[in-house]
Structure 1
Amino acid sequence: MQFIDLKTQYSLIEENVKARIETVLRHGQFVMGPEIQELEERLAEFVGVRHCIGMSSGTDALLAAMMALEIGRGDEVITTPFTFIATGEMIALLGARPIFVDIDPVTYNLDPDLLEDAITGRTRAIMPVSLYGQCAEMDAINAVAERHRLPVIEDAAQSFGASDRGRRSCGLSTIGCTSFFPAKPLGAYGDGGACFTGDDALAKKLREIRNHGQDRRYHHPSLGLNGRLDTIQAAVLLAKMDVFPDEIAARSRLGDRYTALLSERGAASTATGGAAVLTPAIRPDNLSVYAQYTIQVPDRDEVATRLQDRGIPTAVHYPVPLNEQPVFHVGLETGATPVSADVAKRVISLPMHPYLSENEQIQVADAVAKAAGLTLS
């Protein structure tokens, strides 16, 4: 069994992918070719914002977003410690200081109730992460940000295609940033990413930043990056967009089925209370794209070994909170984010992609139930 199955997807879109790549090979505009604008327009319409700016990676999208907001040395950016390194890494790379605020124990996303106490005179932005494919509580976060006149950058690397009350991820804040890494819900065949915004001035800045800070050829009003999305990756993404709405629906359906199957097989629950397997909790009116289907189990390493013995691959996202990483630990209080520290010891992600069969999910659920010591019904 594969953790993520890109081969089945390719078999469905093979002819379209080949045709689009062939078009790029024939016109030869491998950097900033016409497919870039076509993709940006299509993605902006999909999200429901005025501007999409293609980027070389999701990491560079975060960096460019903060550069556009003129965040720099001595500034503070509030974010979550329960995420991939890139979130905090880009803050620190600009000379700013990541301020880690703990997560909600149910959704694993940044807890908006803790934001007010973290804001200081040096706070320049809030950067929530929409983890595992579910949007963070953006309305509550935006409300705090508005009171303090702060921009919000959604790190939506795992949630592109998700929605909150009918509004798409990446269109819920000042700037939304996503990744097109191959394993993401919408993945290219290499690195890629994008920024989204409804602000015309920010969009102009972002387009300049991704191209060495130039507003026209050899005229550079600001410092920038070599942060452009490759034309061939744009061509691949255009082909994948044709099946993406169906994949979003499939991901939501498969996530619900996993939860039902695990619940049928023992004391699985979306709430704490002694359950052997803690399944994901999706907030009301939210649609998750389940970039990962992540559960909590006791004795995670033992469970992972038992699953591997049965041919079930797993992964851990993420075993060490960022504020416990050596690069960030200096000057921060140990145990300042106890929920993140606790959750990081027990989370484990199961195989998840839009083409999982029902039989495969049953096989996984049975294996999880046995590995976690549950009694099958």
Structure 2
Amino acid sequence: MTPAPFPLPPPRGRRTLLNAGALTGSNLWRIAVSFLLQIAVARRLGLEALGHYTLLMAVLNIGQVLSELGLPLLLVRDLARRPDLRRARLRQALIVQGAAALITAAGLVALTALLPTGSPLRPALWWIAASWPLYAALSACETLFQAAERMELLLGVEAAINLLTALASIGVLWLHGTVVHLAAVVALAQVVSVLARQARPFLGLALADVLLQRLDMVLVGLVGGATTAGLYSAAYNLVRVAVKIIQSVWRALYPTLSRLSAQAPARYRRWLGLSLRYGLPACGGAAAVGAVLAAPLLALLYGVLRILLWVMPLFFVESALITHFLVQQRPHAALRLTAAHVAAMALLLPPGVWLGGAVGAAWAALLAQAAGVLVGLLRTAQPIPRGGA
């Protein structure tokens, strides 16, 4: 006989709103701190050092995703339904993610041997590699908070750590430090963070998310040059704030929906339907208002921004589809959706930039987003509810 689901209290809308607010605040704070640090690095050390710093942060993010092995998404889904397994799963996650982080760090250290002996990137990358095992421990603990739908406990810790990292980095710059010292600050911040507080498709989803965050910028820069990349990046950074808010909302809903799917399917359909019923018009309305206001306020970016704004409602639908697939234990469908988005981005961006510059890149990004949504809709066995009871 199949064991009865572990009993849980009924979901509360206020709790979900609190979780979404905590995740949104954390993401927005991280974006603001990163932006200010990039300005400080450029002004103090120059554009070449800024390029090195940006590369180091990209390597840091990719290594963090590899060290997680996609386990957070898998564990949040399962532990939201079976909270009695949290202690055992924490130990397992610490062991598996810690081992993956050590292997990833060893691989990066080996790759640094290919760099010139005097390159400042070599010691900086060593510091980045040293931070990954510490991040793996932090990630495992954060996963438990997310599965327990207590994301607000993470907000204060992350805000404090990001502020500490920013202040330490500014201090290093003031003392004429280099990118090596900045990398050391990032690695040591992981120590403070740890002290303060079926996985393959899930790893693919996490890696694809990193690619979607970075791939368009890389391709636009390679094909269109610095000016085109600058225009596209400036417009996309404005849209990125809304994208992070949407991600935060669906991450907050994910454990709740996962629990409801197992224990109360009717309530799951109602919650998912209501999320789409109110969220999609909100995103569409924000895109329309933004497109109107962009003309007088941002004349230089208007052509690019008015196109990229319509990524928001499509991204909202894509996030809903991915969440639906994960909750329904269909991670491969979510992976195929995201893979289609990445593939469309890689195919459409180069000709888009070549034919239309930054505006062409914006159209390519919008079409790639639409392709991901289309693949997701085609793979939906049962229609996502529209709302109501």
Q: TM-score category by the smaller chain?
A: under 0.3
Compute the TM-score of the two structures, normalised by the length of structure 2.
0.25
Where is the helix percentage greater, Structure 1 or Structure 2?
2
Higher strand share: 1
